[in-house]
Amino acid sequence: MPRATAWTLGLLALLACAVGLAWADGPRLARRRAPARAATAAFVARHRLTDLALFTEAPHTRHPGLALPHDALPDDPLPLDRHPSGSLLPPPHATLD
C-alpha cells in the first residue's frame, strides 16, 4: 500500500472514531444540560417570549418569518446591504420574487 494511501486511511479512521465518540457522548451531554434547558424554558414562559431574534440590526434578519417584503429595501430597490447580517441571511422570499 502506498504511503499516501496509508496516511489517508489512517486519517479517515481517526476522524470516524472522533465522530463516533461525539455521537456516543450526545446522550450524556443532553442529561447534563437538561437543568439549564429547563431553566431557559421557565424563563421563556415567565417572560412570555415568543420568538428568537437571530440578529438585532436589520428588520429582515430579526425573524425571517415575520419580515415584511420591503424591509430589506428601505431606500432603494437595488442598494448594497449595509447590515453585516444581511450577508448571512437573505431578504424575505417575497422581495426576491
Q: 64 and 46, same structural domain?
A: no
pTM of structure:
0.43
- The predicted structure's pLDDT at residue 10: 94
Q: Does residue 78 share a domain with residue 39?
A: no
Cβ-proximal residues to 58 (8 Å cutoff; 6+ apart), any chain: 71, 72, 81, 83, 85, 86
Query: Same domain for 45 and 87?
Result: no
CA distance 17 to 11: 10
Q: What is the pLDDT of residue 44?
A: 86
Q: For residue 85, what are the contacts with CB-CB under 8 A and spacing of at least 6?
A: 54, 55, 57, 58, 61
Residues 27 and 67 in one domain: no
46 and 67 together in one domain: no
pLDDT value at position 38? 95
- Grouped pLDDT means (10 residues each) for the chain, 97 residues: 88 96 93 94 86 66 65 60 66 54
